[in-house]
Structure 1
Amino acid sequence: MPMSREPEAILDSVVQLTEQRQLDSLAESLVSTVSQMLSIDEVCILDVDKLTKRKGGLDGQRNVSSASLAVSVKLCIEQQREICFSNGLHQELAVPIIINDKLTKVLLVSAPLLTEQDRVLLRGFAKVYENYFHIVVESETDSLTNLLNRKAFLPQLYSSVEIACDLLQEQAQASQDADEELKLWICIFDIDYFKKINDTFGHLYGDEVLLQVSALMKQVFNPQDLMFRFGGDEFVILPAPRSRRALIELCQEFTQNLAQLQQERLGGIRISMGIVGIDPRVDPGTLLNQADNALYFVKGNGRNQVAFYGQLLAEGKLQRPEIEDDIELF
């Protein structure tokens, strides 16, 4: 049974919604609130980018069929406005959620009947979600580079492990060249001799270098590749599914373009990078530790290189510990 729509109940729902500090739990709270407030059959928040480009796409989902996506959501995305559609048995309402002037998510509700009061309430909850989404995103964004920050990393890493598990199951029956197999990866890098750059030219110049590096990351990698600044000159990328060959080409493009920056003072910006493929059977902390080990191998062997943990193991350049200690993520 839906809860009361008295002002106190509505305010309690808003309070619960704004208590959340993670985007996933924020979505789940909105879905739960709508489910409790209205007599509905189905509700979810759809991530528009994930729906078409990355695996997944339903945040806090509750039994939304693929058929429901075909009409109301499609029209909502195309027309950038609220769409109410009836198939004779049910009504579907798709409410656009705008983040940074872009239709980023859609609140999708299906019910036998949606009154105008229901629609007003749903618009209000969508607006609360939209506004609070901005606050949560700001808390997970690095203030200098506008990349994601360390706080945002852990939930995204676990999400990547889940996607990697799906990919592993899909490709288990296919016979593919290892270099062409789609995988998820962890790429961790830092700027070579960055402390010396700061000491020689000052921290303002160091910040300029960080801004140029982050700007080039956004230019070379695409919006589905999750990019983080961990702090200082340390960066992490969780690329969307790619083959090893495609990832090598992308990293080469990135490092070659970096080498063209700051030629006059630095003779180019250079980085050391370690990469590991995400194996869903391995603990996420261990995976990050493996990427870090590959990075430190590069730093101890000439810098200005990209190295894969698995390849270093295969070539005997790194030894796999009998028990790999989990890195302390936070």
Structure 2
Amino acid sequence: MATLIEHLIKLTDHRDRDLLELTLSKALIDLIPIQRVLVSKVLSEEGVKRWMDVTVLDARGGGKVVDPLRVDFQTLPLLEDNRDRLHCIQRQERVEIAWAGENGPRITYLPLFTDPVAGDEAVLEIHSASALMDEQLAVVGDVSRVFRNMYRLLAYSDRDALTGLLNRKSLDDTFYSAVLEELGQVDEAAAAARQPALSAGQERRHRVPPNYWLGTISVDSYGVINDQHGHLIAEEVLLLVARIMNNTFRTYDRLYRFGGEQFAVLMHCPDEALVLAAFERFRANIEKFNFPQVGRLTISGGFTRVSPDDSPSTALERAERAVDYAQHHGQNKVFSHAELVRKGFFGEALKIGAVDIF
């Protein structure tokens, strides 16, 4: 059995924020006599909040790790459906439920995150045969504190400093981990993460299911805005674009800023029409917004289905070709790369170095 120090080292070894909940759960299962541990986060969509169990782990083996991108939000339980969890977050204190007598099994709820402004609300749920002793609760507190510190540290490194959206570096991690649903697959990913870094220009590839979509967005005529209004006003435009993105897309869609006026979205959706509708809503919301000192702006967007053999760069290249097409054909438009190919506006191209092969 690993010691507390060894588990803390494992937590601080991580460079992938999505695996931290699993490592936390494994540490608690190993360090104290409990039967089950869950990490449940709060998701929000159009003002409605629901519970999502991101990690479930049993002491006897088995469990699951859930990818938020693939969750059907409407099937998740509402916050009011589990009032004990809700009280834990609202009161920001431990809630203990004895569900089979005073000396019998317990469910203990502890607040893991309680920051709705930052979008971080989560509960740690522990099932045990009896009440947890003070020294056991102290271990849970110590491990959870290290978990939170690492989570915030990695979250900071994953974010664009100006807008708070995810950055380009974090796309690679999400791209390869988004489809790892089963516990064994996540373990395999964690082992792979400990391997030496890839050499320059070398990219990992992972088989991605067909319902992931990657889109890119550019603010039209952003250079003109910068020249006419100055750097500070141009940055304010980017902040407002990021805010409108957060208000338009689902809370579990991954929103990115890659630098300058370029933004991106990684989402899971069953078909192309729904993806187009989401990007069109965003385009319309930008078009009707009155930007202070600048007035009306538009964006051009493009998106592509992520194919099984894609890397982030190959998928981004297709999305950016669709954006380029929109910008050269009137701007203020969103196109699907696949639809443009179907209509014959441009063919598929395989780029090798600086050479395009058709």
Return the TM-score normalized by structure 1. 0.75
Residue from 139, 143, 151 that aligns with 2:169: 151
Aligned in 2, Cα 1:147/1:99: closer, same or farther, shift over 3 Å? farther
Query: Are residues 86 and 64 of structure 1, via their aligned partners in 2, closer, same or farther at CA, if it must alter by over 3 Å?
Result: farther
Higher helix share: 1
TM superposition shift of 1:295: 1.5
Change (3 A) 1:245 1:273: same
1:306 aligns with 2:334: yes
**SS of residue matched to 2:335:** strand
In 2: Cα distance, 1:39 partner to 1:290 partner: 51
Alignment match, 2:111: 96
Change in 2 beyond 3 A, CA 1:235/1:262 = same
**Distance across 1 between alignment mates of 2:56 and 2:114:** 18
Q: Could you say which residue in structure 2 is the equivalent of 1:205? A: 233
Output the aligned Cα RMSD.
3.6
Contact 1:77 1:103 in 2 (8 A): no
Q: Judging changes above 3 Å, is the alpha-carbon distance between structure 1 residues 49 and 200 closer, same or farther for their aligned structure 2 residues?
A: same
Match of 1:77 in 2: 85
**Equivalent runs, 1:159-198 vs 2, <5 Å:** 159-161=177-179, 183-198=211-226
Residue in 1 that maps onto 2:55: 59
Are 1:288 and 2:350 matched, yes or no? no
Q: Give me the whole-angstrom Cα distance separating, in 1, the residues matched to 2:114 and 2:309.
A: 35
- Residue 184 (structure 1) shift: 3.8
* Corresponding position of 1:43: 37
Paired residues, number:
296
State the alpha-carbon separation in 2 of the partners of residues 110 and 150 from structure 1.
Answer: 39
Consecutive unaligned residues in structure 1, runs of 5 or more: 4-8, 164-181
Q: Structure 2 matches for 1:251-330, cutoff 5 A?
A: 251-261=279-289, 268-280=296-308, 282-321=310-349, 323=350
1:125 counterpart = 2:137:
no
Instruction: State the match for 1:166 in structure 2.
Output: none
C-alpha displacement of 1:87? 5.7
The SS at the match of 1:49 is strand
- The residue aligned with 1:178 is none
What amino acid sits opposite 1:259 in the alignment? E
Q: For residue 243 of structure 1, report the CA deviation from its aligned partner.
A: 4.6
Give the distance between the partners of 2:128 and 2:292, measured in 1 at CA.
Answer: 64
Kindly state the Cα deviation for residue 49 of structure 1 after the two structures are TM-superposed. 2.7
Q: SS of 1:46's equivalent? A: strand
Kept in 2, the 8 Å contact 1:94–1:109? The answer is yes
115-124 or 92-101, larger mean C-alpha shift = 92-101
Query: Could you tell me how far 1:127 is from its partner in structure 2?
Result: 2.7
Query: Equivalent of 1:249, from 270, 277, 282?
Result: 277
Query: Does residue 108 in structure 1 map to residue 125 in structure 2?
Result: yes
> Residues of 2 paired with 1:249 and 1:161: CA distance?
24
Task: Note if contact 1:53-1:224 (Cα within 8 Å) is conserved in structure 2.
Answer: no
Q: Deviations 1:122-159 (Å, cap 9, x if unpaired)?
A: 13322332233222212212121111122222222334
How far off its partner does 1:259 sit?
2.3
Give 1:42 deviation, angstroms: 3.2
Gap runs ≥5 in structure 2: 65-75, 182-209
Equivalent residue of 1:303, what SS? coil
Deviation at 1:119, TM superposition (A): 2.3
State the 1:227 CA deviation.
1.0
- Distance in 2 of aligned mates of 1:242 and 1:304: 25
Change in CA separation of 1:92 and 1:326 when aligned onto 2, cut-off 3 Å: farther
1:2-17 to 2 correspondence within 5 Å? 2-3=1-2, 9-17=3-11
Which structure's residues are more often strand, by fraction?
2
99 and 135 in structure 1: CA distance in 2 versus 1, 3 angstrom threshold: farther
How far apart, CA to CA, are the structure 2 residues paired with 1:136 and 1:31? 18
In structure 2, C-alpha distance between the alignment counterparts of 1:124 and 1:298, rounded to whole Å: 52
8 Å CA contact 2:301, 2:323 repeated in 1: yes
For 2:201, the equivalent position in structure 1 comes to none
* TM-score, normalization by structure 2: 0.69
Identity percentage of aligned residues: 23
Cα deviations by residue, 1:225-268 (Å, 9 ceiling, x for unpaired): 22111111110012353654343333333223322345786552
Measured at CA, do residues 12 and 249 of structure 1 come closer, stay the same or move farther in structure 2, by a change above 3 Å? closer
Matching of residue 137 in structure 1 with residue 155 in structure 2: yes
Shift in CA distance, 13/263, structure 1 to aligned 2, threshold 3 Å: closer
* Correspondent of 1:236 among 264, 270, 278: 264
